[in-house]
Amino acid sequence: MSTLSDIDPIKVIPDLTETRSILIVDDEARFRSAYRELLAGPGRRIEECSCGREALQRLDRRDIDVVVLDLRLPDIGGIEIMDWLTRNRISTSVIVFSADESIDSAIMALRQGAFEFIRKHCDPADLIQSVDRALRQRRLEQENVLMTARLEQSERLHRFLVEQSPDLIYTLDNQGRFVFVNGRVESLLGYTREELLGQHFSVIVHEDDLEQAHYAFGERRIGERATSNFEVRLRNKQNSVRNFDNRMIVAILSSQGIYAADDGNNQAQFIGTSGVARDITERKRAEETIAFQAFHDLLTGLPNRTLFLDRLELSITQAKRRNQRLGVMFLDIDRFKLVNDTYGHPEGDRLLKEFATRVRQCLRSGDTLARQGGDEFTVLLPDIICGDDVAVIAKKMLAELKRPFTVAERDFLATVSIGIAVYPEDGETPDELIRNADIAMYQTKAQGKDGFLEFRPAMNTMHVERISLENDLRLAIKDGNQFELHYQPQINLRQGRVTGVEALIRWRHPTQGLIAPDAFIPLAEETGMISAVSNWVLDAACFQLAEWRSKGFTELRMGINLSPREFERNDLFERIATPLNHHCLPPEAIEIEITESLLMKDAESIIAKVRQLRRTGMGISIDDFGTRYSSLNYLRRFSVSTVKIDQSFVRDLGFSHGSDAIVHAIIGIARSFGLHVLAEGVESEGQREALLRLGCQEMQGYLFSKPLPAAQLEDFLAQNRQA
C-alpha cells in the first residue's frame, strides 16, 4: 500500500481504481465462502480469517478497508477485536454480520464504532449494499487523511479536501462569528456559505444546547485537551430543531483554538476556533430504534412486558409513598386462536392492532396498555380510589368490544376475558399483581368468558388446582390409556329395540378416579387440547362400533359429541372420515351431535361443513334443542337429521304445562321438517308415558340404562336382541 512519501505531490485525488481489501472474519467456513461469493468483484481483494487471533495478526498490517465481522468467535470475540482496533488506532470500517440478534449486542457493536450491524439471516443484498457503502465511506475517509497530510504542499489540495468532506468544516473568529465554512453546510442546514459568513455560531445551535455549545464553539485549547466528539443539536435555516422526520441533524463536534504569534511579546495570540461537525443522525436513529424495539411490541407499538414491569414498579413506589391504590388488568382475547387457524396470521395481526386501538381508547391519559405476547395484554391504572374504578374501565372495554371486528372482510366478534388486581390488597410487587390479575382472568374464562372478575384469595387454590389438572390432562393425552368411553343406549319404544348408543368420554385419573367430561372438556377447549381429545374419541368410538357390528349388531348407530371448536377447523371432514375408513364403517353408521349454541355463533361459516358431512350419509343431531333462541330456518339450512329434546324439558313433563307445550311443539317442528326426534334424560315411567303420548318414540336415559362401559353395554345389547 502506498505511503505519503510515495505520492506525487501534484496528484490531488488518489487512484480510485486501486484494489480495495475486504477481510471476512467468521468461524464457519460455509459463511466465509458465501460472503466471498457475494462480495467478490473487480478491484476487490477478499481475505478470510476463521478466528480472532488470526484476524488481529492480519489487521495489524493496517491495509484492510472493510472487515465483515462475526461477534461470536471461538477465541476472541468481535467486541474485543473492535476495542483492539480502537486502542491501536487502526482505521478500518467494521460491519458486524452476526447471528446474535440481541438488542444489547447490536447497541454495544454500534457504540464500539461498528459501521453497521446486520443480522445473518437478512437479505444478501443488505450485506452487499452495506459493504458498498462502507467502501465508499472508507474511500472518502482515506482521501481526507491523504489530503490533510498534504495541506502544506497545496492550497488547492486543501480546498478539495474541505469541500469534498462529508463533514461540516468551519472557522470562527475570536468573537464566535463564522469566517469560513465549507459547502457541506448547505446540504446539512440549508444555508449558503455567503449567508452564514459573519453570523454568530448561535444561529445554528438549538437554544437548549447553547450553554454547553459555547465551550465547544469557543474552544481555546489545542491538542489532546481540545474538544472532541461533543454532541450537539443543530437547527436549520428556518430555526426549527432538527428531528428525524424533517431532516434536522444531530452532530458530534470536535474543535480547537487557533493562535498567531504576537510580535510585541512573542506570545501566542488567540484568534479563533476551527472545528468539524459530523452528522450522526442515522447512528442516533439506529440507536433509538434498537432501544425502542427493546421496550416495545413491534406489531402494535405498545410497551412490552419489560417496559410495563418498569412502569408498574415505579407506580407502586409512588403509590406507597402517597398512600394510594393502583389497578392492574390482565386481558386475553377469546377465540383468538380461531382467527389464526382459520384465516392466517396476517389477519390475526390486524385483529391484534385493532383490538389494541379500541382498548387504548377506553383508558385515561396516564394509564399504560402493554402487550405481554400472543393475545394477552396488561393495563396499569395508577391513582385509583378503589376496585370499582377499575371495574368501570373494564365495563367500558367490554362495551367497546361488542362491536364486531373485520376479519378477512367478514364480521368477527372478539370478546375479551379480564382479570383485575388492586394494590396493595391483591399484591405489593409487580409479579404478585400481574400473577393475581392473570388468575382472575382465567376464572373469568372458566365462568363463560366475555367479562371480568376481581381477584379473590380463594382463586389461588382454584388456579393451582386448574394448573395441576391441565398438566395431568396433557399427560393423559400423551399416555392415551387414561380415557375410556361409556355408552348410553337409545331405545325406540315402538320397535322395542336399541337403535343407537351415545358415546360419552370419561377420564380415569390416576389419583382422582373417574372424572366426568364436564370437569375437563372446558379446560381442553380453553387450552387447545380439545382436538387431541376429539381425535381419541372418534377413533375409539369407531373401533368399538366396528367390533359390535362384526358381532351381529349391524343396524347399531353411534352418536358422537364434538366440541363447537372442532367446527372452527378446516380439516373437520378429514378428521372424521379417517377413523371411519380405517375401521371400515359406512358414514351412516355414526351421528355427530352438535349443540344448538353452535348454530347461533357463526352459522354461515359451518353450514358448508355440516352439509358436507350430511352428503356422505352421516347423521347430524342437535343436542339441547329448545334451550336457545335458535331460528327454525337453521333446521332447514343445516340439513340436520335428528333433534334431541333437552332433559330440562323432559324433567318437568307432567308437572309443568309449559314444558308439555314446548315438547309438543318441538316434536311437531321436527316432524314438519322430516327429522327424527329423541328425548334424553328420561328417568321415570311418567316421563316415558308423557313422551309417548306426545308422539316421541325414541328415548335415552337412566330409566333404560345409565352410560355403561363397552363390555356391559354389549351384554345389554344381547339381552335386548333376545327380548
Confidence of residue 720 (pLDDT cuts 50, 70, 90): confident
Report yes or no on 470 lying in a domain. no
Inside any domain, residue 299: no
**Closest to 59 in 3D by CA, of 71, 47, 70:** 47
pLDDT of amino acid 597: 65
Q: Are residues 231 and 340 in the same domain?
A: no
Task: Show the cell assigned to 245.
Answer: 422526520
Alpha-carbon gap, residue 677 to 671, rounded angstroms: 8
The amino acid that residue 396 corresponds to is: K
**Residues present in the chain in total:** 723
Residue-level pLDDT at 187? 83
Q: Has residue 5 got a pLDDT over 70?
A: no
Q: Specify the pLDDT at position 601.
A: 56
- The residues, ordered by sequence, that sit 6+ positions from 494 with a Cβ below 8 Å of its Cβ are 697
What's the domain range around 86? 4-149
pLDDT tens digits, 256-274: 888 886 655 667 788 888 8
- Of the candidates 499, 591, 495, the residue with the CA atom closest to the CA atom of residue 542: 591
Res 156 pLDDT > 70: no
- Residue 254 sits in the same domain as residue 313: no
Residues 483, 540: contact at Cβ < 8 Å? yes
Whether residue 41 sits in one domain with residue 80: yes
pLDDT in tens, 487-501: 999 999 988 899 999
- 14 pLDDT band, cuts 50/70/90, is very low
Model confidence pLDDT, tens digit, residues 455-470:
988 887 777 778 888 8
pLDDT band (50, 70, 90) for residue 619: very high
Does the pLDDT of residue 13 top 60, yes or no? no
Global pTM value: 0.49
Pick 564 or 347 by higher pLDDT: 347
Q: What is the pLDDT of residues 204-254, one digit of tens each?
A: 888 888 888 888 887 778 878 787 888 888 888 774 444 434 556 788 888
Please tell me the predicted confidence (pLDDT) of residue 559. 95
pLDDT at 639 over 80: no
The secondary structure of 39-59, three-state, reads: HCCCCEEEEEECCHHHHHHHH
Q: Do 699 and 601 belong to one domain?
A: yes
pLDDT value at position 483?
A: 95
Q: What is the CATH number of the domain that holds 317?
A: 3.30.70.270
Strand, helix or coil at 298? coil
pLDDT of residue 210: 84
Q: What pLDDT score was predicted for residue 192? A: 87
Tell me the residue type at 702. Answer: Y
Q: Which residues of 33-61 are buried (b: 16+ CB within 10 A; e: fewer)?
A: ebbeebbeeeeeebebbbebeebbebbee
Number of domains in the chain: 4
Specify whether 172 is located in the same domain as 145. no
* pLDDT computed for residue 149 by the predictor: 60
Across residues 584-606, what is the average pLDDT? 78
Tell me the CATH number at 281.
3.30.450.20
Q: Could you give the count of Cα atoms lying within 13 Å of 517 in the half-sphere of its Cβ?
A: 18
Q: For the residues of 232-264, what is the DSSP string, one character each?
A: EEEB-TT-PBP-TTTT-EEEEEEEEEEEEE-TT
Taking the CA atoms of 32, 35, 41 and 46 in sequence, report the sign of the dihedral they define.
negative
More confident of the two residues 602 and 532: 532
pLDDT for residue 369 = 96
Same domain, 365 and 407: yes
Chain center to CA of 133: 33
The per-residue pLDDT for 209 is: 84
**Does residue 373 form part of some domain?**
yes
Task: Give me the mean pLDDT over the 278-291 stretch.
Answer: 83
List, edge to edge, every strand of the sheet that includes 451-454.
Answer: 368-373, 376-384, 325-333, 416-423, 451-454
Task: Find out whether the peptide bond into 303 is cis, omega within 30 degrees of 0.
Answer: no
- CA gap 190, 209 in Å, rounded: 20
For position 11, what pLDDT does the model report? 42
Q: Do residue 429 and residue 350 come from a single domain?
A: yes
Judge if 169 and 145 occupy the same domain.
no
Q: Is 418 part of a structural domain of the chain?
A: yes
Does some domain include residue 159? no
E-strand ranges in 444-583 read: 451-454, 483-492, 497-509, 513-515, 557-561
Cell numbers found for residue 425: 390488597
What mean pLDDT, rounded, does the chain reach? 85
Residue 154 located in a structural domain: no
Claim to verify: residue 573 and residue 634 sit in the same structural domain: yes
Angle (CA) 365-371-376 rounded to 5° is: 120
- What is the band of 543 on the pLDDT scale with cuts at 50, 70, 90? very high
281 and 312 in a single domain? The answer is no
Question: Is residue 210 in a domain?
Answer: yes
Q: Are residues 250 and 339 in the same domain?
A: no
- The three-state secondary structure class of 393 is helix
Question: Do both 121 and 177 map to the same domain?
Answer: no
CATH number at residue 76: 3.40.50.2300
Q: Which residues contact 465 (CB under 8 A, 6 or more apart)?
A: none
d(CA 604, CA 623): 19
CA 234 to each of CA 209, 210, 545, 573, 592: distance values in angstroms, whole numbers, following the listed order: 9, 10, 82, 67, 73
Question: In the beta sheet, which residues pair with residue 249?
Answer: 234
Q: Where are the alpha helices (DSSP H) in 68-111?
A: 78-87, 103-111
